[in-house]
Amino acid sequence: MRSRALTCHAGPRTHSIAGLTALNACTDRWGGFVVRRGVLHTVQVVLRPARLPALLIAIPIVLVILSGCTGKDAVDNSAAGNYRFVAATPIGKTIAVADRKPVGPVSGTLLSGGTFALSADRGKVVVVNFWATWCGPCVTETPQLDSMYRQVQRKDIDFVGIDVKESGTDAPKAFVADNHISYPIVFDEPAKTALELGDLPTTGLPFTVIIDKDQRVAAVYIGPVLPADLQPVVTSLAAES
């Protein structure tokens, strides 16, 4: 009996799920297959020198794996009209214009008070960054994104942070003040914004969604993203007619 396992980390801890679930993420070569970035779970597959019935059972499992690993962009073409997450976009790349789908109505309460509505930013490229103060990579990434925001905010490019899975507003308010974060932050403890944007995975942070000027999802980057990778993308999107 041979056993091979792939482990991916999710948020502050690692989840273990028996069987085959949500095969979308992680970059690794495993059992001859390439499992794409996006799965935030542990997958365990046991391969046995099988009798014929077991082999027949294994065939649909392989097909499930392959269907989760194929597809050029994070688009579910079966979704009715609006965008639905399938897989992460490679860093520095965007979804082809013809394949982009619109977001649903997205709104929330700002840490500073008042209401955020994504629809108010139609005509601009919007960088939507999901983060939390308990997420180590997030607290490194957020000040870097703010530095970029200060450089591009007058070029039809806007930013919004979505603070999720926090137990209260004290920690994010203190972080925003201490680090002089200047773009708006939505407090979204249940992460409803991720569902509104297209059923995005919230088991791992950070992740960033890029919305084009027509309110369509242009990219979904799982994990930290550097301004050096992000700036050419948003500049290109802002230049689209």
Q: What is the pLDDT of residues 174-196, one digit of tens each?
A: 999 999 999 999 999 999 999 99
Residues 201-227, mean pLDDT to the nearest whole number: 94
* 113 and 232 belong to one structural domain: yes
DSSP strands (E only) in 101-230? 107-110, 115-117, 125-131, 157-164, 185-188, 207-211, 217-222
* Per-residue confidence (pLDDT) for residue 72, from 0 to 100: 36
Q: Do the domain assignments include residue 119?
A: yes
Is the pLDDT at 211 greater than 80? The verdict is yes
Between 129 and 56, the higher pLDDT residue: 129
* Torsion over CA: 37, 130, 180, 169 (sign): negative
Q: Report how far residue 141's alpha carbon sits from residue 220's, in angstroms, rounded to the nearest whole number.
A: 16
pTM for the full predicted model: 0.68
Q: Do the domain assignments include residue 75?
A: no
| Domain, as residue range, for 144 | 97-238
Q: Which two tokens stand for residue 194?
A: 């991720």
* 198 and 155 belong to one structural domain: yes
Domain count for the chain, please give it.
Answer: 2
